[in-house]
Structure 1
Amino acid sequence: MTGRKRRFARVRIHYNAHFLTQADRASLPYMSFYSALAVFLLLAISLVVPSGFSLGALMLVLGAVVLLRRNRPHTRLGRDDWLMMLALLSYFFVNAALNLAHHAPGREYDAPLRFVIALPALYLLRTYPPRPAALWTGAAVGALGAGLLSLWQWLAEGAERPGGSTNPIQYGNIAALLAILAACGLARAIRLQHALRWKLLYAAGVIAALMATLLSGSRGSWLALPVCAVMAAWLLVRAGYTRLVRQLGAAALAVLVGLVLLPQSPLSDRMRLALAETDGYVQRADAQSSVGARLEMWRIGLQLAPQHLLAGWGKQGMVEAKHEMVVQGRASPSVDDHTHLHNEYLDALVKRGIPGLAALLVLYLLPLWLFRRQRRLAAGYEARLAASAGVMLVLSYLAFGLTQAFLTHNNGVMLYAFLCSILWAMCQEQPDHPANTA
């Protein structure tokens, strides 16, 4: 059997498995609306309300209770579903085992445990997939809210780096993620020829979220945007939209040049500051600046990591070892108060050794492979778009982790765990139905 025939055989089997569960799903018709509402709220209020993402996540977890009914729907989970769950579970089990080894306090189990909590939500979403519009519209509304909030804090409150109710780095990174998802919604609206008002909503969301990212001064989020832009351009070229890619590329270049040349531009100011701080650390070992402190922490991490490769230092052990280096004059006092190393990969290696770093890479690279594979196998546009968004989600987190330990923060953990679950459910083949394309 040729590769093409095998591909369509798998798709046909997947469709058949899906249709076999339609009678079961009809017994609770409101659940698809419920999951769609939860998905919408997860993103729509993620940055404008303190811990706003928690409401949608909680709804998805509590909604999974309906799956305990005796006549519950029977959703067939395939190998790839179990692999996605394995990526989330392995991160929890490795971190929990190492926390036990280091006698860590109970609060250190909180972040890894959230990956386990996302599993009932994943099963609920596989059983009652939300309407695709719920995610894309939620992202656009959340992006608009983030942009308006950051503009208010910048103009009315005089905040130098707006950060909503979180810190500016997390705020800027999540705003960049909302911009990427809103851009996917815009591409979908153009492809499906939606009304102009929807295209304007998504476009406004992209612009507002990019403005929030720019005002936050989060340079780590600026690393993710070009990566995702290149991937989006590649997908559009493969789909035959070469001319559109050229037009969008020219427009993006013009906007970027304008931002750089704009007087007192936050973009150019932050880039010049980064270069000056880097030069200050290289030339004078000045670790009192933002970039200097990061470089100092990375230097410390590279010294500490080889000493405990098998299980790491543990969080408290790393903090104490870092403090001892400061006391001995081997490290700058500017790094003494930090509980992570501002690099996801180095932080995992130092705190949890090779097993911790391996679990982190599985958490990122296994879903990346699954989303990429699903995009190649999917026949429907909605499924391919969701899979593409899944790839960009993981690529964004890989970029965020270069300058920030993103998963040490509650919002970073929750959004990754639940967006992986949502996008994975959405990139499975759905039957053609008006509700799935509206």
Structure 2
Amino acid sequence: MEKRVVRQVLDMANLSYGLQTLLAVSPLFVLTIKGWISGILFASSAAAIFIMLSVIAKGDSPTFPKHHNWLWCFVILFTLPVIAIFLGQSWRQDYVGRDYDSPARFLLSMPILLVLFQKRFDVFRSMVCVIPGSILITCIVVTLNPESPWGHLNDPVHFRETTYFVDPLTFGSLNMTLGLCCLLSIDLYGRDDWGVRVYKTTGFIVGVYLSIVSGSRTGWLALPLVLYMWSHLRLTRYRAPVYIGILLLASGSYYLSATLQQRLDVAVQEIISYHWDTLNPQTSVGDRLSFLRMAVFLFSQNPWSGFGDHGFAAFINSPDLNRYALQQTQEFALHSGFHNEIATNMVRSGVWGLLSSSALFVIPALFFIRSLYGGSQQAQKIAVLALGYLACTFISGMTTEVFNLKFTASFHALMFTCFISSLLVHHAVGQGSEKNEST
């Protein structure tokens, strides 16, 4: 009997360590192996569910404090994408199962969040050492295999660096996000050795480089914003020299990188030349401005049910749209989305999609800001990293969909889960310490 109990305890411990390991290595091949991050999500969710069922089977009940409002707030938040799809389809009486594929990734993260909090696991202690490795592996892969479906090496003006299954927009934004996470993770858990600092700094530099050579401006605006946030919140003693360094880095990168210079100059020119009352030619930035205007118009036509993915075909060549958008621009939005996370979801699911996609940014932001000013010193450091990640994701989400692809939805669902659980754990530990001191 005792041997059986010991074996069960060991099995549970091994499963818990396995879950932590899966989450820690989840970023490793996210941009180089198709299906990697989705496989990690499914395996982690299954392990978390098994852990919860094992605890219940032993006659114990998982210890989730009923008064912990933030935990239950995030449990509800992770159900909202699926609920939004269901409500929109119910209003339209048009049920399509594949529409739940990406939104369900957040639902699958729910048991992981509960187990990480219940077991008091902080997976970021290990994950921050994996993220730079992920970027370096990606750099090696694209260097050894430079050809991609988006352009050719003999046409450098239109060549877009990426891997075989990732579009340049996603490739650029995720490398920028992971690179900035490398920078913000320096000295996250005490003072890092010089070798670890070099390793993380290299990850940051290579991540920014990969984002630039992707030719994708998605997420570039996050770089100065997150660097300012990092210097203002983490480097309070060195703000002036850091600000000067940021300006020198930005100006130097602009004048030394032909790709960066060309892409930024084109973006500025396209913004200046955009027409609000006459027809616009197809341009990258101009199309995005037109997409937003189209999304607002379509939302006003069907605010409660939305149109699903392709339900607004009847509005193509509508006089309201023809005033500023070419037919090709309208058809692009019909078949490929609006290149904006919130706009795409509010057209697809109406007000439910608008609320759901907005909540995925707003609620974590409020929690991270609260942790920044109301938590322990360790929680504050993690909150800076979490806010940097969220800023990158939000800015990227304004120029492309960040939660609609299956693999990006899986990646962000796991990252949200790990950030939130780590902060909840440190808040719980801090509250426990305060209670012990008071008694």
- For Structure 1 versus Structure 2, the TM-score category normalised by the shorter chain is 0.7 to 0.9
Conserved 8 A contact 1:153-1:162: no
The unaligned stretches of length 5 or more in structure 2 are 1-7, 431-439
SS at structure 2 position matched to 1:74: coil
Give the structure 2 partner of residue 16 of structure 1.
none
> Paired residue for 1:386?
382
Is structure 2 residue 365 aligned with structure 1 residue 368? Answer: yes
Residues 145-179 of structure 1 show CA distances to partners (whole Å, capped at 9, x for unaligned) of: 23334445558962711121210001111111101
Q: Give the superposed CA RMSD.
A: 2.9
Cα deviation, residue 375, structure 1: 3.2
Aligned to 1:172: 172
Q: Return 5+ residue gaps in structure 1 as ranges.
A: 1-23, 433-438
Q: 2:318 aligns with which of 313, 325, 341?
A: 325
Q: Which residue of 2 aligns with 1:74?
A: 62
Trace 1:35-184 onto structure 2 (pairs within 5 A). 35-64=19-48, 65-69=50-54, 70-71=57-58, 74-77=62-65, 78-102=68-92, 103-128=94-119, 129-152=121-144, 154=146, 158=153, 160-164=159-163, 165-184=165-184
Per-residue deviation, 1:315: 2.2
Instruction: State the Cα deviation string for residues 6-28 of structure 1 (Å, max 9, x = none).
Output: xxxxxxxxxxxxxxxxxx99883
* Matched residue, 1:436: none
* 1:347 partnered with 2:344: yes
Provide closer, same or farther for how the CA distance between residues 92 and 177 of structure 1 changes in structure 2, counting only shifts above 3 A: same
* Residue identity opposite 1:247 in structure 2: P
Range 24-33 or range 163-172, more displaced: 24-33
Residues 153, 412 of structure 1: alpha-carbon distance in 2 compared, 3 angstrom cutoff: same
Following the alignment from structure 2 to structure 1, what is the Cα–Cα distance between the partners of residues 377 and 10?
23
Residue 243 (structure 2) aligned to one of 245, 249, 256: 249
TM-score by length of 1: 0.82
Quote the sequence identity (%). 19
Of Structure 1 and Structure 2, which has the larger fraction of its residues in helix? 1
Give the counterpart letter for 2:261 in structure 1. S
| Equivalent residue pairs, number | 400
Aligned-partner SS, 1:188: coil
- Asked if the contact 2:185/2:385 (under 8 Å) is kept, the reply is no
TM-score (norm 2): 0.82
> What pairs up with 1:276-291 in 2 under 5 angstroms?
276-282=269-275, 285-291=279-285
Secondary structure of the corresponding residue to residue 103 of structure 2: helix
Q: Is the 8 A contact 1:163 1:169 kept in 2?
A: no
Quote the Cα distance in structure 1 between the aligned partners of 2:311 and 2:191: 57
Matches within 5 A, 1:180-259: 180-188=180-188, 192-237=190-235, 241-243=236-238, 245-259=239-253
Aligned AA for 2:17? F
Give 1:420's aligned residue: 416
Deviates more, 1:275-284 or 1:106-115: 275-284
Letter of the structure 2 residue corresponding to residue 38 of structure 1: L
Contact 1:150 1:212 in 2 (8 A): no
State whether residues 407 and 413 of structure 1, in contact with CA within 8 Å, keep that contact through their aligned partners in structure 2: yes
